[in-house]
Chain A
């Protein structure tokens, strides 16, 4: 599993891996918002937690179809399936690699973009915490969606159609935690619920992902 993780990370970081693409997308969405809603600091500060969460979600979505597509194209997916590693662990490793290459940079970049949107300083730790807890769930759900649509032509659009409704609970609790943090309200309840969803995803979704992969490889 470690070898697979290392391989995926190296592939993502090296040329053509698309590393940083999600980050750039995150930046562009956040920069576009003030053009859409106007530059008043008060409005931007109010909607900043929601905007940052939605933008992070879309940025994570952008790179999902690469999780299995490249391995499927060059034929290494069947090889990975016949490896001694159980398929569930393969799914988990893929999700982890996706999180490290996409989710983690988003978490790190979020405070900088929060400054752009006049996010109050007291909200920063809550935003970071909610993103850090929520993005692994996004990666896991996305890996499941990618496994469902791997090998399909025009899979990308279908993938977003399938995955976005599944993202709703994560988005609600994540953005709610960040919003409460920004307004100085206690934010532990949504954070705990978010963590619950995340842990549930870790526990259950690799099995669904593995089941979908087995069907695709049959």
Chain B
């Protein structure tokens, strides 16, 4: 039994649908543990004060913002190569989740940046590339929404996802280059993971796990919804056809 048997929409639904509520509760539990631990039971870091605690939302959401795009890339490749509809629908389902994660990362970053850097926004390479990632999500979602034919939409968005990935990586490095040209090595970015002590690192890991579970739950749920919506559409079309034959 290979993983490809889950490409059958019914099998996929039957397997994942019972999991979704469990995943939801599990992610809520893990997130609650991680956030409460992070917010109330870690010491305040010197230099940062209590503002450091937003890291428990900021870092996991940024992580998932990138991972969501990677997942869409893999799902798009699977759709283009093996033509499994579930894969295309999973990519479609992941996009808005990833976009919201990007938005959370940007907003929490701005809230954190205000006390730390004295500014809500700086054209720092990392910030800028996240803003560009957000634009990529927007375009991808808009293209899905604009094309009426579902298979054509899946094909075109997959191609866009592939090309977009290349250009997103290009932009990441281009932005680095551009900012060096402006700021002459003055970097605002913190090397987050290197100087984080275990006291902060472990609740952060818990929060990351919570975000991963939340992402999984949301994507499975949304993929299920997309499959059901597709099924309703097919039933409607069939009803319309048989109705036309009878009339």
> CB-CB < 8 A to B181: which residues of A?
176, 179-180
Q: Is there an interface contact between B143 and A165, defined as CB atoms closer than 8 Å?
A: no
Contact flags (1/0) for B169-202 with A, using CB distance below 8 Å? 0110011011001000000000000000000000
Q: Is there an interface contact between B146 and A172, defined as CB atoms closer than 8 Å?
A: no
Q: Is B49 an interface residue (CB 8 A)?
A: no
Give the size range of A's interface with the partner: 20 to 34
Interface residue from A165, A180, A218 paired with B135 (Cβ < 8 Å) = A165
Taking CB atoms and an 8 Å cut-off, the chain A residues in 7-56 that contact chain B are none
Q: Is A146 an interface residue (CB 8 A)?
A: no
Given contacts A148-B156, A152-B146, A161-B139, contact A190 B177 (CB under 8 A): yes
Q: Is B111 an interface residue (CB 8 A)?
A: no
A166-B132 Cα distance, complex, nearest whole Å = 9
Q: Is A164 an interface residue (CB 8 A)?
A: yes
- Looking at chain B's contact residues, the main secondary structure is helix
Q: Is there an interface contact between B167 and A168, defined as CB atoms closer than 8 Å?
A: yes
Q: Is A173 an interface residue (CB 8 A)?
A: yes
Q: Is there an interface contact between A161 and B159, defined as CB atoms closer than 8 Å?
A: no
A211-B80 Cα distance, complex, nearest whole Å = 11
Contact flags (1/0) for A206-218 with B, using CB distance below 8 Å? 0010011001101
Q: Is there an interface contact between A162 and B178, defined as CB atoms closer than 8 Å?
A: no
Q: Is B160 an interface residue (CB 8 A)?
A: yes
Q: Is B122 an interface residue (CB 8 A)?
A: no
Q: Is there an interface contact between B177 and A165, defined as CB atoms closer than 8 Å?
A: no
Q: Is there an interface contact between A216 and B152, defined as CB atoms closer than 8 Å?
A: yes
Interface residue from B136, B156, B159, B174 paired with A172 (Cβ < 8 Å) = B174
Q: Is there an interface contact between B143 and A148, defined as CB atoms closer than 8 Å?
A: yes
Contact flags (1/0) for B128-161 with A, using CB distance below 8 Å? 0000100110110011001100001001100110
Q: Is there an interface contact between A149 and B178, defined as CB atoms closer than 8 Å?
A: no
A-B contact count (CB 8 A): 76
Q: Is there an interface contact between A165 and B146, defined as CB atoms closer than 8 Å?
A: no
Interface residue from A152, A166, A169, A212 paired with B159 (Cβ < 8 Å) = A212
The residue of chain A having its C-beta at the shortest distance from the C-beta of B128 within the complex is A168
Q: Is B164 an interface residue (CB 8 A)?
A: yes
The residue of chain A having its C-beta at the shortest distance from the C-beta of B175 within the complex is A172
Contact flags (1/0) for B99-123 with A, using CB distance below 8 Å? 0000000000000000000000000
Q: Is there an interface contact between B147 and A144, defined as CB atoms closer than 8 Å?
A: no
Q: Is there an interface contact between A168 and B162, defined as CB atoms closer than 8 Å?
A: no
The chain B residues found within 8 Å of chain A, CB to CB, are: 132, 135-136, 138-139, 142-143, 146-147, 152, 155-156, 159-160, 162-164, 166-167, 170-171, 174-175, 177-178, 181
Q: Mind listing 9 A-B residue pairs with CB under 8 Å?
A: A148-B159, A154-B146, A161-B139, A162-B160, A168-B175, A211-B155, A212-B155, A212-B156, A212-B159
The chain A residues found within 8 Å of chain B, CB to CB, are: 144, 148-149, 152, 154-155, 158, 161-162, 164-166, 168-169, 172-173, 176, 179-180, 190, 193, 197, 204-205, 208, 211-212, 215-216, 218
- Which 9 residue pairs across A and B have the least CB separation, nearest first? A169-B174, A165-B135, A162-B139, A215-B155, A169-B170, A172-B174, A172-B178, A168-B171, A166-B167
